[in-house]
Copies of this chain bind each other. A is one copy, B any other.
Amino acid sequence: MKHTLAQLLEKMSAGDEVALARLITLVEREGAEVAPILAAIGPRLGHAFTIGITGPPGAGKSSIVDCLAALMRKAGKTVGIVAIDPSSPFSGGALLGDRIRMTQHYLDRGVFIRSMATRGSHGGLARATTDVMKLLDAFGRDYILVETVGVGQTELDVMGATDTVVVILVPEAGDGVQVMKAGLMEIADIFVVNKADRDGAQRMLTELTLMLELKYSNHPPREPAQPQWRIPVLATQAVNSIGLKELFDAIESHHRFLLASGELDRRRKARRREELLSRVEHEVRRRLTARVQTNVTLARLFAEVSEGKLDPHTASDVILNSEFLKNGTKEEQV
């Protein structure tokens, strides 16, 4: 690397996209630079409003992200896009037509696009994605759009790290029961039925609306005075640019709700707390995995467990009462 970390951070803060891209790569690699990078940008975080876009494969998420980015630019705002959907054109996995369409943004310095490699463990990808969102925030983006395929734990974790979650469905996505099963019901702030010109769209819109009504009637607000967010169900046809303005309005409206109700602050606090817990968990695993290679006592403990001679509970207790997790303990470079 030609530049020091401090230089990269300075350049990034000054709006240098190449420096930003390099920092993102460092964060993606999950190496030793992650901690100093995040410590350095920490004080500058919180400006960006983050929007998660999720749904089944083929729901048209990328087209919607594309249209939203265009609308945000028109409103004079800067945009960052993070795609962890392997079928997304942003990640290079889609049809040529989609990719060509996206190049309009590649020429616009107000839109920074980054796709995340879907390699590696589930925990790692979600962590790296939230770290990349932070870099985009520190870079000064007004909006950050994160696109995922809403199926696994990684995707749910990533959605949990955004301020507003938009769930995109298509008429073919099946009945309401499956939506609930997929856990999408719990995370949606806004529902969109895309490809709304297709058969079954009206049925799906009605079904979603009814399910939400049911949810509200089963869980009435505890404090009636408190403002409530009514999850809207919108119809769009992204390829024909229909309904996108309304979606952007709904996102803005949710943003205003989050600010006015104090919910944005509550969500972000809870998120940072959760991030601390999962960071400690991750670091514990990383240190143990490295140190078991060099520390004889630890290696013996692991061997006893893997041979079934010692149960993991007892061994876990031994580890937590030891000094194995502290900084001073010898570890191999990872």
Contacts and interface: CB of A to CB of B under 8 A. Distances in A.
B46 A308 contact: yes
Contacts of A276: 302, 305-306, 312, 315-316
A42 B308 contact: yes
A74 to B, nearest CB: 31
Interface residues of A, number: 52
A306 B42 CA distance: 12
B280 A319 contact: yes
A285 B86 CA distance: 31
Given A312-B38, A313-B34, A288 B280 contact: yes
Given A45-B308, A284-B320, A313 B153 contact: no
A306 B273 contact: yes
A270 B283 CA distance: 20
A162 B35 CA distance: 36
Contacts of A95: none
Contacts of A325: 320, 325
Contacts of A154: 153
A218 interface: no
Contacts of A34: 313
Contacts of A289: 277
B302 A273 contact: yes
Interface string A141-159: 0000000000111100000
Q: Which one of A42, A312, A316 has the highest number of Cβ atoms from chain B below 10 Å of its Cβ?
A: A312
A177 to B, nearest CB: 9
Nearest to A305: B276
B272 A305 contact: yes
Interface string A275-295: 111011111110111000000
A87 B272 CA distance: 35
A127 B307 CA distance: 19
B38 A316 contact: no
A226 interface: no
Contacts of A151: 151-152
B316 A327 contact: no
Given A153-B122, A284-B284, A272 B320 contact: no
Interface of A: 34-35, 38-39, 42, 45-46, 57, 86, 122, 151-154, 181, 268-270, 272-273, 275-277, 279-285, 287-289, 302, 305-308, 310-317, 319-321, 325-327
Given A269-B306, A272-B307, A283-B317, 12 more contacts: A34-B313, A38-B313, A86-B181, A272-B306, A275-B312, A276-B302, A276-B316, A277-B289, A279-B316, A280-B285, A280-B316, A317-B327
